[in-house]
Structure 1
Amino acid sequence: MPVRVDDVMQLLCHVSQEKGMKAAVKHSGRGALVAGATAFLGGLMGGPPGIAVGGALGGLLGAWMNSGQFRPVPQILLELPPTEQQKLYDEAMDILKRLDWTDVVQLTALVMGNASLQQKLAGVVMNYLSRELRAEIQYGE
């Protein structure tokens, strides 16, 4: 029986929810854009002193935009584009390929009954989020 990407994504969401995983995805590009835009607008409105003031305010605004926006990992995983879900699926299947199951319910039961598998899959999710999305991971409720 072919394994569906959606089934493995549901499993990863369940594991990350049980572990209480949250992640803050850094949007440094967006922060830099805000800082540059406010410096530009400051320059248009106030000349050289306006550039300095606009850049400082934009830098603060950009830093604020990137700080502490933790979201539940299952929400982040479900919002991934299909190509990114496929990457995560491929990594998870390296761990799951030796298991024998018929549906996502049985697969979830097998994994949730094995602490080692849970830890390995949580590690796959954590490594993926850190590497691909440059996210900061947090555990607990």
Structure 2
Amino acid sequence: MPIVVQDVMQLLCSISEERKMQAAVKHSGKGALVTGAVAFVGGLVGGPPGLAVGGAVGGLLGAWMTSGQFKPVPQILMELPASEQQRLFAEVEAIVRGLDWADAVQLTALVLGSEALQQQLLALVVNYVSKELRAEIRYED
């Protein structure tokens, strides 16, 4: 049976939703910029002590700004451009090629019934999100 990209994306979404996966793209550049800017202003206003205080305050502000920006992985997967979805599709196709299924629901049921397939597809999603999107993964409790 030919595999449809949307079926595969739905499968990946189902698996990552079941595990309650979330991801946050790291915005370390933005945090560093804020830290540097506040340290600079502190140095201008208060000299060396102002630089130290500005660096500390800027670091805290930068950390606060960049934390807690987690989104559900299924949402991230569905928002991917078509070219990236096609890339994931090709990798998933190699894993599920031997399965016999008629639609996305049946494919999902087959995969959810196999711990080995789930682990392979989860590893694929985690690898893609962490390496390609440079995001941090967490599992909601």
Answer whether TM exceeds 0.5 for this pair. yes
1:13 Cα shift?
Answer: 0.5
Cα 1:30–1:118, aligned 2, differ >3 Å: closer, same or farther? same
Q: Is the 8 A contact 1:26 1:133 kept in 2?
A: no
Q: Provide the identity percentage.
A: 66
Task: Give runs of aligned pairs for residues 96-135 of structure 1, distance below 5 A.
Answer: 96-135=96-135
Q: 1 CA distance for matches of 2:41 and 2:73?
A: 37
Q: Is the 8 A contact 2:3 2:93 kept in 1?
A: no
1:46 and 2:41 are equivalent in the alignment: no
Secondary structure of residue in 2 paired with 1:136: strand
1:81 and 2:81 are equivalent in the alignment: yes
For residues 6-44 of structure 1, the C-alpha deviation after alignment (integer angstroms, 9 at most, x for no partner) is 22111101001112222232111222232344445556x
| TM-score computed with the length of structure 1 as normaliser | 0.78
1:52 Cα shift?
Answer: 5.1
Q: 2 CA distance for matches of 1:52 and 1:103?
A: 61
How many pairs are equivalent? Answer: 140
- Name segments (4+ residues, structure 1) moved above 3 Å: 36-43, 47-56
Give the CA RMSD over aligned residues. 2.5
For residues 56-79 of structure 1, the C-alpha deviation after alignment (integer angstroms, 9 at most, x for no partner) is 433222212233433322122222
| TM-score computed with the length of structure 2 as normaliser | 0.78
- Matched with 2:8 is 8
Secondary structure of residue in 2 paired with 1:100: coil
Q: Which runs of 5+ in 2 are unaligned?
A: none
